[in-house]
A and B are shown apart, each in its own frame.
Chain A
Amino acid sequence: MATLEIKDLHVSVVSEDAPKEILKGVDLTIKAGETHAIMGPNGSGKSTLSYAIAGHPKYTITSGTVTLDGEDVLEMSVDERARAGLFLAMQYPVEVPGVSMSNFLRTAATAVRGEAPNLRHWVKEVKGAMADLDIDPAFAERSVNEGFSGGEKKRHEILQLGLLQPKVAILDETDSGLDVDALRVVSEGVNRYKASGEVGVMLITHYTRILKYIQPDFVHVFANGRIVESGGRELADVLESEGYVKYTGKTEAAALS
């Protein structure tokens, strides 16, 4: 039973002048089998939370703890975190010119699984996973994310999620910029991952629309660097109709008008 436990997490970003505190005491526990939606207005620190957990060098943890099954995540390097079972589907996946998607996927799978996957099985596995996400097989020979549209990038993030089978997945605004078809395909991919085993999901989103496809067990409202309210599915419905005004003092819709 995987458990990701975040306790009183404070995170600063190193900017040009002084360090700026963005996360101001985040407490959250995600257990295997649970899906937690983190919802909040722009600039509330949602993405910072995801990057801090993944270990992006731009962010400094000033206090608090993050553990995965009791292991200190903050002590691990970025790649150790991934091999320990954490996965971050990024809002803006990075282009890596000259490195083919197939080489990248195989290298990542080898690292995470601890051994190179059997070639024949692997080819079949990747083909099937790509077909499930409506990804043209030609993408395997293209450079990682290079020249991909926003939707293609997101599909490839979920492709990696499916192949790497982490214990806990953090999905950072995976829904942003997706059209209706892509949102459905990507959501189905996340649901397949959820159904594949005892895994935890942290679903970061600004809008409620992805929650029509991916059922959250818990909904947390994120504002000003911390979780300000937690509830069940019904909290998303409240946000849907009322927006974030209650938390921020200014009008910002959580539903697409």
Chain B
Amino acid sequence: MAALSTQPHSHGAVVPVSSRAEHFTSYDVDAFEVPGGREEIWRFTPLKRLAGLHSGAAATGTAAVEVNAASGVTVETVGRDDDRLGKAGVPGDRVAAQAYSSFEQATIVTLPGDAKTEPTTVTVTGAGSGTVAYGHLQIKASQFAEGTVILDFRGSGAYADNVEFLVADGAHLTVITIHDWADDAVHVSQHHVKLGRDATIKHTVVTLGGDVVRVTPVVQYAGRGGDAELFGLYFADAGQHQEHRPFIDHGQPNCRSNVVYKGALQGEGAHAVWIGDVLIRVAAEGTETFELNRNLILTDGARADSVPNLEIETGEIEGAGHASATGRFDDEQLFYLQARGIPEDQARRLVVRGFFQELIAKIAVPEVRERLEAAIEAELEAVGT
């Protein structure tokens, strides 16, 4: 029972310039200034590589959305004027607002209430090299729904979108988002999670491909008893920029959150950024939260930035903590495995696989788990070459 005496309380590796509570949001792209790169929320992002997503680039193509829906799950393609859209959250940066102002059609996937459904897969394929596209997805888990949705991003081009997750009271939603883009792709995405009373989300982000991928998952609670687990697994190769910015906004009492992101980096110019924000507002008594980021640097020339921020505005919480560590490949582990006869490349793979094992084990869909294991194997083929 961590009863903190100071209030308000700000704590973290880096004290935020301003409270996350005052962070500006708007559906209107013009309400945001074009970022120059020095802004706190943009300072790690290579704006020059965003193909103008941040500075008003018009759409030149449309990403294809294909849904393989499980029995009982409904899929609708709706226009931008559909008034069900935009309910899970408000865009928090200029690119998200640009996407919200620019998409033409949205896809709404609804899991039926009080029922358990098989996994549904939503595949989004970029509009192609040199194109700019904007999109919008909404995933709704009806009351007491229980199911899994896999979001699979592939192909080429620059793409910005908002993905909404409306998890109704008592629903349990599992989401696995896989960024398996082609080498040239640029993807800037904001996820908006709204959790109803006693609702849970298990939200996993996997980032493998793409030139620049920046994902900002935001979780808000609409009632007591919400539980959010946010997992992330990324593997950055030479030249890739992968940025994950989870933000958990605890504004309701007795809710829980747990954030675990792990990444491996290899090659010249591989860059991973993790900004983990947790805000516990005055009303959020009894909150329990923990966030953790670990980076494993496999070669020289790779760089990881990791910044956990925890702001606590109430003293009455169950517990709050964070941890961040970025380390070189552990030579002692390698030595130990090799001393048992295991060849070096195989030993390296064991260690990296082991590093990700905790997260991979949490993925309940066997096909996705196998695909990830294979993807990690493929990434590791390049290690040490």
Contacts and interface: CB of A to CB of B under 8 A. Distances in A.
Interface in B41-89: none
Nearest to B347: A79
Contact of B335 (A83, A94, A95, A160): A94
B340 interface: yes
A126 to B, nearest CB: 14
Interface string A89-112: 010011111110001100110011
Nearest to A79: B338
Contacts of B332: 94
B342 A107 contact: yes
A192 interface: no
Given A77-B344, A94-B333, A107-B346, A99 B351 contact: yes
Interface stretch (B211-219, B241-249, B314-322, B355-363): B355-363
Contacts of B36: none
A108 B341 CA distance: 6
A65 interface: no
A59 to B, nearest CB: 11
A176 to B, nearest CB: 18
Nearest to A105: B340
Contacts of A112: 340-341
A143 B350 CA distance: 11
Interface string B324-366: 0000001111011111111110110011011111100000000
Given A57-B331, A79-B347, A93-B336, A98 B353 contact: yes
B357 A111 contact: no
A78 interface: yes
Nearest to B343: A79
Contacts of B343: 79, 111
A51 to B, nearest CB: 9
Max chain A C-beta neighbours (<10 A), residue from B342, B351, B358: B342
A66 to B, nearest CB: 15
Contacts of B354: 96-99, 143
Nearest to B331: A57
B335 A56 contact: yes
A172 to B, nearest CB: 11
Contacts of B335: 54, 56-57, 78, 94
Interface string B285-320: 000000000000000000000000000000000000
Contact of A104 (B330, B337, B338, B358): B337
B358 to A, nearest CB: 6
Nearest to A54: B339
Counting chain A residues whose Cβ lies within 8 A of the other chain, the interface size class is 20 to 34
A82 interface: yes
B336 A90 contact: yes
Max chain A C-beta neighbours (<10 A), residue from B330, B338, B350, B356: B338
A81 B341 CA distance: 7
A214 to B, nearest CB: 22
A219 B351 CA distance: 38
A82 B340 contact: yes
Contact of B353 (A87, A99, A108): A99
Nearest to A113: B341
A94 B336 contact: yes
A81 B343 CA distance: 11
B235 to A, nearest CB: 15
Interface in B3-62: none
Given A97-B355, A98-B355, A88 B341 contact: no
B341 A77 contact: no
Contact of A111 (B330, B333, B341, B358): B341
B331 to A, nearest CB: 6
A164 interface: yes
B244 to A, nearest CB: 20
A108 B342 contact: yes
A107 B339 CA distance: 12
Contacts of B342: 79, 82, 107-108, 111
A98 B356 contact: yes
Contacts of A82: 338-342
A26 B344 CA distance: 29
Contact of A160 (B330, B340, B346, B351): B340
Contacts of B333: 94-96
B341 A96 contact: no
B231 to A, nearest CB: 14
A93 B357 CA distance: 21
Max chain B C-beta neighbours (<10 A), residue from A78, A81, A108: A78
Contacts of A96: 333, 336-337, 350-351, 354
A83 B341 contact: yes
A109 to B, nearest CB: 8
Contacts of B331: 57
Interface of A: 54-57, 77-79, 81-83, 87-88, 90, 93-99, 103-104, 107-108, 111-112, 143-144, 160, 164
Interface of B: 330-333, 335-344, 346-347, 350-351, 353-358
21 contacts: A57-B331, A79-B340, A79-B342, A79-B347, A82-B341, A82-B342, A94-B330, A94-B333, A95-B333, A96-B336, A96-B337, A98-B355, A98-B357, A99-B353, A104-B350, A108-B337, A111-B340, A111-B341, A111-B342, A143-B354, A164-B341
Given A82-B342, A97-B358, A107-B342, 19 more contacts: A55-B339, A57-B335, A78-B339, A79-B339, A79-B341, A79-B342, A82-B340, A90-B336, A94-B333, A94-B335, A95-B333, A96-B337, A96-B351, A97-B357, A98-B353, A98-B354, A98-B356, A107-B346, A108-B342
